[in-house]
Chain A
Amino acid sequence: AQSVTQLDSQVPVFEEAPVELRCNYSSSVSVYLFWYVQYPNQGLQLLLKYLSGSTLVKGINGFEAEFNKSQTSFHLRKPSVHISDTAEYFCAVTKGSGGSNYKLTFGKGTLLTVNP
């Protein structure tokens, strides 16, 4: 089974500042990793994903994440945030073999609040 820990439940930052949202995972098998964003009263939108290959993954809206297998981490970063980035961010993991028995295990989420 897989598990995900998002170390910060809330991250307040000022506009144009850099931000890092931390995510650690646990798994006995290879994994796929994801970051989803949830804007207020909306569904989940995929920001980026790591499946294999380059450990630095670039996503939408200027976000990127780095897969670190030795530290079992997949931290999300953005060099300069906007007020519109205010949202809940979820890290998620699934086993890397895919197939039909495929479920996402989510972290508890990090609320990013960008202040002017």
Chain B
Amino acid sequence: DTAVSQTPKYLVTQMGNDKSIKCEQNLGHDTMYWYKQDSKKFLKIMFSYNNKELIINETVPNRFSPKSPDKAHLNLHINSLELGDSAVYFCASSQVSGNEQFFGPGTRLTVL
């Protein structure tokens, strides 16, 4: 069974469109994260949710809106997509007091 899963794996879309990426974890963790990996492989945190509550928002444009319907899911909705949003987006999860984050396989977003 996949611990942290993301859909879709690849997403190709036009500028200006709105798209969503879904993430689910079956590890029973309380905390979930979104990271962005740019074309130079640099990884940076975007958001963190603990028990459906937003706890970290790292200066991400408000076109990005995370939503956590329950503690096993953290979705990422992006409005008015821009060329610079092209990247690989990784979801991760951990225990509240945990120290190891488990990563999903990533979603490669390409904005044309």
Contacts and interface: CB of A to CB of B under 8 A. Distances in A.
A99 B96 contact: yes
Contacts of A34: 100
Contacts of A38: 41
Nearest to B98: A98
Interface residues of A, number: 25
Interface in B1-40: 4, 30-31, 33, 35, 40
B90 A102 contact: no
A38 B92 CA distance: 14
Contacts of A49: 99-100
A7 interface: no
Interface of B: 4, 30-31, 33, 35, 40-45, 48, 50, 55-56, 58, 90, 92, 94, 96-106
